[in-house]
Amino acid sequence: MRNILWLASWYPHNQQPLSGDFIERHAKSASAYNKITVLCSIKTNQHEKSFTDKIQYNENCSAFIFYYKPISRIPVIGSIIAPIRYFLFMVRMIGEYIQNNGKPDLIHVQVCWRAGLLAVYCKWKYRLKYVITEHWSAFMPDAKPAYEKMGVFQRQLTKLIYRHASGCSAVSEALAAVLAHRFSIPIPIVIPNVVDTGLFFPSAKKRNTFRFIHISDLNYQKNPEQLFEAIGLLKKSSTQPFEFILFVPEEEQVKLLSEKYQVQDRVFFKKQQPQALLAPELALSDALVLYSRFETFGCVIIEALASGVPVIVS
């Protein structure tokens, strides 16, 4: 069994417990074959002191999340200092890992920007090879934020990260093709996202009223305007009762769009939930709707399918 050090640009943490949760599930799955240690740093205003939180999932999988406070409230100064502090804190965490465990057999970067810069450093400092698994939708056509709109310096560093990687994987064929084209690399292998079938499985029970369900951040990518327009069209054309449940972050956005398309009686807001609470709600639904402008994968799709729920997608 090999020791693999994961450097994660995104990872669930106490401010955003659903951020990068698909990476956490990948780590648990990979720990069936190798010993996985995840390192991640998060800037926080919620704590007075910097500290490291350790999560032990099983004997082969652990994560260390370092929380650090910003040192300036002036945005311009903060934007300059924050990346430097992130890099220095991660370098320290990597050094402590190697001191306690020896050199890992491989470094695995989850999302190239920013953790990939640490992998380049490790290749230079410790002669360690690294591979990348990419999830970031910014590389997709028509994305917002878009890779093309980022600063020249960031784009050049991203190219540097990919140029020095020993291999690359992506969560979908679409993203793999985009990466190969953008960075002139061999087409990455596809390692799809995973679903916990211990949580997501079919239920014989259904509600009396037909239920559509939508689960997302309801941002530009998820196309909220056309989603609500479609709900309005369905309300006008259907004689059958239905309800549309949205598990999204902000209730105000749901209210505004519901009023605009006059679907207040059909749309119901629910706060985002951890998977253990979301799974039974999904299993009780009749169809998942995901009307995205672009996706790298869409984890809720396989969660719905595992629950025996049909999926309607753009």
Residues 164-180: pLDDT tens digits?
999 999 999 999 999 99
pLDDT band at 83 (very low <50, low <70, confident <90, very high): confident
Rounded mean pLDDT of 151-158?
Answer: 94
Residue 110 burial (10 A CB sphere; 0-12, 13-18, 19+): buried
Rounded mean pLDDT of 211-239?
Answer: 96
Token output for 310: 């049909």
Tell me the HSE value of 112 on the side-chain side, using a 13 A CA sphere.
Answer: 27
pLDDT, tens digit (0-9, with 9 covering 90-100), for 235-272? 999 999 999 999 999 999 999 999 999 999 999 999 99
> Taking all residues of the chain, what is their mean pLDDT, rounded to a whole number?
93
Rounded mean pLDDT of 129-146?
Answer: 94
Concatenated DSSP letters for 171-197?
SSHHHHHHHHHHHT-PPPEE------T
The answer to whether 149 and 99 are in contact (CB under 8 A) is no
- Give the per-residue pLDDT at 15: 84
pLDDT exceeds 90 at position 80: no
DSSP label of 290 = E
Element (H, E) at 312: strand 311-313
Rounded mean pLDDT of 264-284?
Answer: 95
Round to whole Å and give the CA distance between 40 and 38: 7
Residue 79: CB atoms within 10 A of its CB come to: 10
- Give the per-residue pLDDT at 70: 75
- Give the per-residue pLDDT at 211: 97
Rounded mean pLDDT of 65-85?
Answer: 74
Question: Worst-scoring range by mean pLDDT, 26-30, 141-145, 168-172, 308-312?
Answer: 141-145
DSSP label of 139 = G
Round to whole Å and give the CA distance between 146 and 144: 5
pLDDT exceeds 70 at position 284: yes
